[in-house]
A = this chain, B = another copy of it.
């Protein structure tokens, strides 16, 4: 934060990009704003990165490195049946990083990046599954089946509302009973079972773990 103007580097640019997005969301991450926080002009950035795409690729690298730093510290057995707990912990640890940088999932989704950090993360995943006794072919399928869950986040399309369950939202729900009877039945029952839910309609973490365990259990059954 000092007033002294350190020279720009690719690394400083990318770390600043994460900081800008942390503070103002992905929309705040413009080349001009990025230069501003670095005490430089927008055009100076182009000496260190080719274009904005490269900044976003770099952001993926920075975030994934943060994940790697955390998962590298995990010291759990992974031989045989222990693979599952090891992979589960790895993924839930990675997830913590996305909870700190909620805007980052969108960046990961927008590119199929295979930078060194992501490759290293996947390499560790292959190792754990290998320890579990899976064949290379099974591991390949497993990584595809996990998709973004492997890094700790999911794309939710079913979102019955993020706010808390209120009298208004319940009334709105009743109004849709004719058009979407099965959906409304389900949601009213869920709201009724947990009327004081301060978490809103769903507990993201619980749902993530449910889906993750479903897949891990399924994989475990495939082991030789």
Please list the residues of chain A having a beta carbon within 8 angstroms of any beta carbon in chain B: 106, 108-110, 112-114, 116, 118-120, 122-124, 126-127, 130, 136-137, 139-141, 143-148, 150-151, 154-162, 176, 179-183, 185-186, 189-190, 193, 202, 207-208, 210-211, 214-215, 217-219
Q: Do most interface residues of chain A lie in helix, strand or loop, or is the interface mixed?
A: helix
A157 touching B118 in the complex, CB below 8 Å, given contacts A140-B186, A140-B190, A218-B215:
yes
Task: List, in ascending order, chain B residues with CB within 8 A of A112's CB.
Answer: 156-157, 159, 162
How long is the Cα–Cα vector from A70 to B108 in the complex, in angstroms? 31
Q: Which of B110, B181, B215 sits near A215, CB closer than 8 Å?
A: B215
How long is the Cα–Cα vector from A202 to B145 in the complex, in angstroms? 12
Contact A155 B147 (CB under 8 A): yes
Q: A126-B186, A139-B186 are in contact. List 12 more A-B contacts (CB 8 A).
A: A106-B109, A113-B157, A118-B157, A123-B180, A126-B185, A140-B186, A141-B207, A144-B211, A145-B210, A150-B157, A150-B158, A214-B214
